Amino acid sequence: MTRPPVETRIRTSYREAIRAAIFEAMLEDERVFLMGEDVGRYGGCYAVSKGLLAEFGPERIRDTPLSESAFVGAGIGAAIVGMRPIVEIMTVNFSLLALDQIVNNAATLLHMSGGQISVPLVIRMATGAGRQVAAQHSHSLEGWYAHIPGLKVLAPATLEDARGMLGTALRDPNPVLIFEHVLLYNMEGEIAADAGAVEIGKAAIRRPGRDVTLIAYGGTLHKTLLAAEILAKEGIDAEVVDLRTLRPLDTATLLESIGRTHHAVVVDEGWRSGSLSAEVAARLAEEGFWSLDAPIGRVCSVEVPIPYPRHLEEAALPQPARIVAAAQAVMRR
């Protein structure tokens, strides 16, 4: 009897997985190039592009001026004429300086041109808090972009998704935004040596359970998995769902999960008012009301600009203890 081949696995980090994805994409397709602030000689604000300038040269690893509107606009123009640009924005807060380009141009041109103009643009940006860099560098605004028709919005939370989402995004004929949580860059683990492109548009069950569904994404996923372990010691078996794609939302997987558990808590590092968690909760209430045995719980950031002091920053963000408390509340424990 022939044994199946043993999968070769390698140790890597979230940062290195993204770098490998960029490297592979640039080798495979000469139309792919990377542009942004400090991506070249400095190697990227989070060292994601370190070494790529020496490998591919300044034509394909392009340092830009400190003008998000200008270089995102240049990326849109390059995409329209057939290139496959990867635009890096240093932090989601700075993406606000390019809102006109992203929302009024990249997201709308296909529709406004009657299907004649595609914008195959990928924009990567760091999001989230936890590094004590204060309010102008720490917010989670991906829910804002998930509001916009014409965009796909991704939030890789695992090494496999960090490695694989970029390749899939580059093959999309329309703009894709990838949000990389700052606390994940140093995360290490093992992935398959031949790991490559992954499916986008589907949520993933990261931990099966029968009592309560905990819905998370990006930087909140690992806190939520930790909360699930704590709950298990108290006799509550939590299922953890990773949204992965924020637009379009995979509502079907969420409904299937609450159909099993009959309870739900949504964890979102964005603010509660008008948040992505509000959209998820509304969809569950609209389409899965009769599956629920209790109101939907939500755990979000406190509604203040993210503070600089460590203890206040931690208090403002969703933490495992708050997720555990929310799950206990919906279970009436």
Tell whether 171 and 211 lie within a shared domain.
Answer: no
Give the C-alpha separation, 332 to 235, whole Å.
13
Q: Does residue 199 lie within any of the structural domains?
A: no
Tell whether 163 and 110 lie within a shared domain.
Answer: yes
Mean pLDDT of 31-51: 96
Residue 229's contacts (CB-CB under 8 Å, 6 or more residues apart) are: none
In the annotation, is 68 catalytic? yes
pLDDT at 196: 86
Q: Which of 16, 68, 180, 269 is catalytic?
A: 68
Of 163, 192, 221, the residue that ends a domain is 192
- Judged against a pLDDT cut of 90, whether residue 34 lies above it is answered with yes
Tell whether 245 and 142 lie within a shared domain.
Answer: no
- Judged against a pLDDT cut of 70, whether residue 13 lies above it is answered with yes
Tell whether 256 and 148 lie within a shared domain.
Answer: no
Residue 285's contacts (CB-CB under 8 Å, 6 or more residues apart) are: 292, 296
> Torsion-angle region of residue 266: left (phi > 0), alpha (psi -120 to 50) or beta?
beta
Confidence of residue 6 (pLDDT cuts 50, 70, 90): low
Q: Does residue 3 lie within any of the structural domains?
A: no
Q: Does residue 240 lie within any of the structural domains?
A: yes
Tell whether 247 and 115 lie within a shared domain.
Answer: no
Of 192, 219, 243, the residue that ends a domain is 192
Tell whether 160 and 242 lie within a shared domain.
Answer: no
Q: Where are the beta strands (DSSP E) in the chain?
A: 9-13, 32-36, 61-63, 84-89, 122-127, 152-154, 176-181, 188-192, 204-207, 212-216, 238-242, 245-247, 264-271, 297-301
Tell whether 128 and 49 lie within a shared domain.
Answer: yes
Of 192, 213, 240, the residue that ends a domain is 192
- Judged against a pLDDT cut of 90, whether residue 247 lies above it is answered with yes
Q: What is the CATH number of the domain that holds 265?
A: 3.40.50.920
Buried b / exposed e along 273-310 (16+ C-beta atoms within 10 A): eebbbbbbbeebeeebeebbeeebbbbbbeeeebbeee
Q: How many domains does the chain contain in total?
A: 2
Tell whether 291 and 188 lie within a shared domain.
Answer: no
Mean of the per-residue pLDDT values for the chain?
A: 96
Q: Does residue 145 lie within any of the structural domains?
A: yes
Q: Does residue 92 lie within any of the structural domains?
A: yes
Domain hosting residue 299, numbered range: 204-330
Mean pLDDT of 154-170: 97
Tell whether 138 and 282 lie within a shared domain.
Answer: no
DSSP state of 305: P
Q: Does residue 138 lie within any of the structural domains?
A: yes
Q: Does residue 2 lie within any of the structural domains?
A: no
Mean pLDDT of 101-106: 98
Tell whether 184 and 208 lie within a shared domain.
Answer: no
- Judged against a pLDDT cut of 70, whether residue 107 lies above it is answered with yes
Q: Does residue 154 lie within any of the structural domains?
A: yes
Tell whether 40 and 174 lie within a shared domain.
Answer: yes
Give the C-alpha separation, 220 to 218, whole Å.
6
What's the whole-model pTM score?
Answer: 0.95
Tell whether 218 and 265 lie within a shared domain.
Answer: yes
Q: Are 89 and 142 in contact (CB under 8 A)?
A: no
Q: Which of 16, 37, 88, 137 is catalytic?
A: 137
- Judged against a pLDDT cut of 70, whether residue 260 lies above it is answered with yes
Mean pLDDT of 150-172: 97
Residue 300's contacts (CB-CB under 8 Å, 6 or more residues apart) are: 267, 268, 269, 270, 271, 272, 275, 277, 318
pLDDT at 4: 60
